[in-house]
Amino acid sequence: MICYLIIMRNKIISEILEDIVNRLGEESRFLEGSTLIISGGAGFLGSYFLGVIHLLNEKFLAKPCHVISIDNYITGTKESFVGDVYGEHIKRVEADIRTPFSVPEPVVDYIIHAAGLASPVYYNKYPLETIESTIHGAKNLLELARQKKPKSFLLFSSSEIYGDPHPASIPTPEHYKGNVSCTGPRACYDESKRLAETLCLTYHQLYDIPLKIVRPFNVYGPGMKPSDHRVVPDFITRAIAGAPLRVHGSGNQTRTFCFISDAVVGFFKVLLSQKNGEVYNVGTDREEINMAKLAHLVAEYFDNQIEINLVDYSEAYPADEPRRRCPDITKISRELDFHPTWDLRSGLKKTVEWYRDILPFDWAPDL
């Protein structure tokens, strides 16, 4: 097991957390004196929730926000890249959200279901855990919500619920119904996210759960585990090791990449909004780029000295990728004043710097 140098929060993570807190401004006052439960709190996005709330508690909120973070560490790590945030106000519980969960706190104000197997390599490896963590996890937290009557319940769905959208529906708006296989190599992830949305909306209709759903589109940035295997950490960590970058298939498949601080601002805006039963794309609609070009962009940070190869999909990486993915973010921009500010080059630069800081000099990719 390789030990990364991430136990201490580094300067780049501190700057990102400050940026998020500044951009949230007065909106974050809703968290004052509240209690929040999050599943998947040791993951990439969950850790930012903890880091932001830790900073808000230190600098902004008159009464702290209390957090209970649940994780079974199937892919998350106990050492957090946002630093040692755990203590009086932020507690971690090692638990599997697939089993019913209860807390002694009489009042819970916010519940977030972010646990899941988000990276294709991991959901390919753990398909049943992927389905159960998404569905049983949602059901257990919804039952908790029925008891505790929170102000807001946020489900992390995914842009993958759209599958491979018809070109006429790109950028893809929330009302696009999807073009998804229920038997394909990615079905355990895509279809469980789709059913989780249905399950949560049903609880909203039957029991008045104050539900919100976010569909993130390729969020990236400092904090993604070097062994995460999603495309940005994969390219950058391989480049740092001097290994060739592997582009799956033709390399023509496109994505838009949303830098972490933009995305986290969007997630908090949705969580804290007063509108219930709503679904929002969270991402950026700018700079749709194909994977071959992304590899070349990453190579630029390494003086173009990195080899780039087109490779077949391996057994570890599920095929049947969507050809294009780009969100229509009109809804969240208009309703919640969400506007991404980071361009791809600036975000990649920060991400490369972070991996250079935390990876040991003898780092070697594990696949």
Q: Which lies closer to ligand NAD via its Cβ, residue 115 or residue 245?
A: 115
Question: CA 132 to CA 74: how far, in whole Å?
Answer: 13
Which strand (E) or helix (H) includes residue 94?
strand 90-94
In contact, 134 and 193? CB cutoff 8 Å: yes
Spatial contact of 251 and 292, defined as CB atoms under 8 Å apart: yes
Choice among 176, 189, 203, 355 that is catalytic: 189
Nearer to ligand NAD, 64 or 130 (CB): 130
Q: Is 191 or 306 the residue whose CB approaches ligand NAD more closely?
A: 191
Cα 119 to Cα 144, 225, 230, 337, distances in angstroms:
27, 11, 6, 29
CB of 48 to ligand NAD, least distance (A): 8
Footprint of ligand NAD (CB under 6 A): 39-40, 42-46, 70-76, 96-98, 114-119, 133, 137, 156, 158-159, 216, 218-219
CB 104 within 8 Å of CB 147: no
Give Cα separations from 168 to 12, 172, 176, 312, 330 (angstroms): 39, 9, 10, 28, 16
Q: How far apart are CA 47 and CA 82, in angstroms?
A: 7
> Are 58 and 28 within 8 A, CB to CB?
no
Q: Shortest gap between Cβ of 71 and ligand NAD (angstroms)?
A: 4
**Cis preceding-peptide flag for 171 (omega within 30 of 0):** yes
Check if 280 is active-site: no
Question: Rounded to the nearest whole angstrom, what is the least distance from the CB of residue 45 to ligand NAD in the complex?
Answer: 4
Residue whose C-alpha is closest to residue 232's, from 141, 102, 119 = 119
- Nearest approach in angstroms of CB 255 to ligand NAD is 10
For the bound state, the minimum distance from the C-beta of residue 169 to ligand NAD, rounded and expressed in Å, comes to: 18
Q: Which two tokens stand for residue 152?
A: 């807001």
CB of 63 to ligand NAD, least distance (A): 28
Please enumerate, as own/partner, the contacts of 53-56 that have beta carbons within 8 Å and a separation of 24 or more: 53/89, 53/90, 54/82, 54/83, 54/85, 54/89, 54/90, 55/17, 55/18, 55/21, 56/21, 56/28, 56/31
State both tokens at 273: 């909004």
Distance between terminal CA atoms of the chain?
Answer: 14
> Which residue has the closest beta carbon to ligand NAD?
43
Nearer to ligand NAD, 34 or 133 (CB): 133
109 vs 190 by CB, closer to ligand NAD:
190
Q: Which residues contact 203 (CB under 8 A, 6 or more apart)?
A: 142, 145, 146, 209, 211
Q: Is the CB of 64 or the CB of 225 nearer to ligand NAD?
A: 225
* Pick 39 or 152: Cβ nearer ligand NAD: 39
Q: How far is the CB of 307 from ligand NAD (least distance, A)?
A: 27
Query: Distance between CA 157 and CA 201 in Å, rounded?
Result: 12
Report the catalytic residues. 189
